[in-house]
Structure 1
Amino acid sequence: MKELLKKLFNYFLIGTFAVVPIVIVLQIIFFVKGIVSDLFQIVYHFSDSYTYTALLFIISFAILVSIGNTLVKNGRSWIISSFDFVIDRIPVLSSIYRVLKKIITMFSSREQKQAKEVVYVEYPKEGVWVPAYITNRYDNWYVLFIPTSPNPTSGFTVIVDQDKVIKSDMNIEEATSFIVSVGVDFNKVEEMKNLG
């Protein structure tokens, strides 16, 4: 009886972990759907017409595509620059906005090679290796963001000498997948041999 309960509990855990990614994706979809639905209701409340509401959403989509296209081609957009100009004059908001913008740019920019680099560093003690993102460099010093599993948006920021890191062939997506999957999704087994 004890063995049967142990097997059932084991199967339950395996089934739960198999379903968790589906549940998380569905939650994100429902969250986005809720935001879009709320926006649609707000706009419809003012216009009282589905035609005007749909037209406003189409125009908004076209504007966002135009901003994205301009940013890719020119590296800046006058709309974003104007908003930056206004936000820079508001003390607390300017700090939050600047930091958020740098973080988003770090993970989405194609030009910044250092933001795309993944390295291994011994943390929190010698002999324990973790993947980290290079966020900045000063001479021989690296500023690293060390994400924590399974939530890669939380973690630690450390400064280390470049001699203390080992380069990885992983890109940001692979490293993030490794962290979110708590090591299950790791296809760079050869790299483990190079660690200390």
Structure 2
Amino acid sequence: MLRKYFLTGLLILVPLAITFWVLHAVISTLDQSLLLLPEQWRPKALFGHDIPGFGVVLTLLIVLITGLLARNFIGNYVVRVWEGLLNRIPIVNSIYSSVKQVSDTLFSSSGNAFRKAVLIEYPRKGSWTIGFLTGVPGGDVVNHLQGDYVSVYVPTTPNPTSGFFLMVPKADAIELDMSVDAALKYIVSMGVVAPEQLPPKK
């Protein structure tokens, strides 16, 4: 009986503890943006003590103002000049261009990354896993593939930030009637949090 109560307590407290830990880590990291302010403008100088989360507000304002400035003609010109300068610096140009391509794909409103969850056979025939469509193969890879292929990202469990990039025949990738959020929860929970079962399509 005590073991049952203990496990029930764990099931309640562990998710709460992990949630607060993640939030604390994010807020603490974003609070480092306060270092961009002159010392006399920081909360400790203005109010006599630090204000947790103030850096989050500052970071959001910086991102918003940067977006507003980049949307006009002058701001767009400055961004292009800055990117041109970074592209001329060895090593930096390869890192920056790679990160920018990934971020443009993930955060662009017209992008198609992670828009569909698919079911594929991996890592062997008869074993199935959930992946996410990221596009289609490009470059010289296309010249060596026969037929229609799609690019699929297969995340690992329970950490979906690492995974495997696969190119599979389009016919072998079964599109799921499941949102990306539901699929991610299913993966992160190691199959414990199953999405709602929908009736089979006729």
Give the TM-score normalised by structure 1.
0.71
- CA offsets, 1:27-84, max 9 Å, x none? 22222332344443x356x443448x88xx788654421334577899x955544443
Q: Which residue of 2 aligns with 1:167?
A: 175
Query: Pick from 8, 26, 31: which aligns with 2:20?
Result: 26
- Per-residue deviation at 1:14? 4.8
Counterpart CA distance in 1 for 2:184 and 2:172 is 21
Query: Pick from 176, 181, 194: which aligns with 2:189?
Result: 181
Matched residue type, 2:119: Y
Q: Which residue of 2 aligns with 1:157?
A: 165
Kindly indicate whether the alpha-carbon contact (under 8 Å) linking 2:114 and 2:133 is maintained by their aligned counterparts in 1: yes
User: Relative to structure 2, which stretch is displaced further, 105-114 or 150-159?
Assistant: 105-114
Give the TM-score normalised by structure 2.
0.69
Distance 1:14 1:182, change over 3 A: farther
Kindly indicate whether the alpha-carbon contact (under 8 Å) linking 2:157 and 2:188 is maintained by their aligned counterparts in 1: yes
* 1:95-174 equivalence runs, <5 A: 95-138=94-137, 140-174=148-182
Q: Which residue of 1 aligns with 2:52?
A: none
Give the 3-state SS of the residue equivalent to 1:116 in structure 2.
Answer: coil
Distance 1:108 1:37, change over 3 A: closer
Q: Which residue of 1 aligns with 2:144?
A: none
- Per-residue deviation at 1:186? 2.5
Kindly indicate whether the alpha-carbon contact (under 8 Å) linking 1:150 and 1:180 is maintained by their aligned counterparts in 2: yes
Q: RMSD over aligned Cα, in angstroms? A: 3.5
Matched residue type, 2:93: S
Distance 1:65 1:19, change over 3 A: same
Task: List alignment gaps of at least 5 residues for structure 1.
Answer: none
- Per-residue deviation at 1:125? 1.0
Task: List alignment gaps of at least 5 residues for structure 2.
Answer: 47-54, 138-146
Question: Which protein is richer in helix relative to its size?
Answer: 1
Number of aligned pairs?
181
Kindly indicate whether the alpha-carbon contact (under 8 Å) linking 2:117 and 2:132 is maintained by their aligned counterparts in 1: yes
Matched residue type, 1:105: D
Counterpart CA distance in 1 for 2:171 and 2:26 is 44
Counterpart CA distance in 2 for 1:173 and 1:71 is 30
Counterpart CA distance in 2 for 1:80 and 1:50 is 28
Distance 1:39 1:69, change over 3 A: closer
Counterpart CA distance in 2 for 1:22 and 1:80 is 41
Q: Which residue of 2 aligns with 1:35?
A: 29
Kindly indicate whether the alpha-carbon contact (under 8 Å) linking 1:106 and 1:115 is maintained by their aligned counterparts in 2: no
